[in-house]
Amino acid sequence: GSIWKRRGFSDTDKEMTDGNEGVLKSSTSMEVSSKSRVEFVDGGSRPEVVSKPWGRRVVQGIWETFCWRLDQEIALFGETLTTVLVLGLAYGVLVLLLREEALPNSKLFPVLLLWFVSMVFGRLAVFCGLPRLFGMLIAGVVLENVPVVLQSLDKHWSDALRLTGLAVILMRGGLEIEIDALRKVGWRTVRLVLIPGLSEASAVAIAGKLIFGLP
Q: Cα(145)–Cα(117) distance, rounded to whole angstroms?
A: 14
Q: Cα(83)–Cα(96) distance, rounded to whole angstroms?
A: 20
Q: Torsions phi, psi of 99, nearest 5? A: 60, -115
Higher pLDDT among residues 48 and 86, named by residue:
86
Higher pLDDT among residues 59 and 170, named by residue:
170
pLDDT tens digits along 178-196: 778 777 877 787 787 788 8
Q: Cα(65)–Cα(34) distance, rounded to whole angstroms?
A: 13
Helix then strand then coil, in percent of the chain rounded to 5, is 70, 5, 20
User: Which stretches within 26-105 are classed as H helix?
Assistant: 54-62, 68-98
State pTM to two decimals. Answer: 0.46
SS (H, E, C) 20-48: CHHHHHCCCEEECCCCEEEEEECCCCEEE
Task: For the chain, give the mean pLDDT.
Answer: 70
Higher pLDDT among residues 147 and 135, named by residue:
135
| Residue 27 near residue 10, CB atoms below 8 Å | no
Those residues whose C-beta lies under 8 Å from the C-beta of residue 73, and which sit 6 or more positions away, are: 127
Lowest mean pLDDT among 105-109, 120-124, 125-129: 105-109
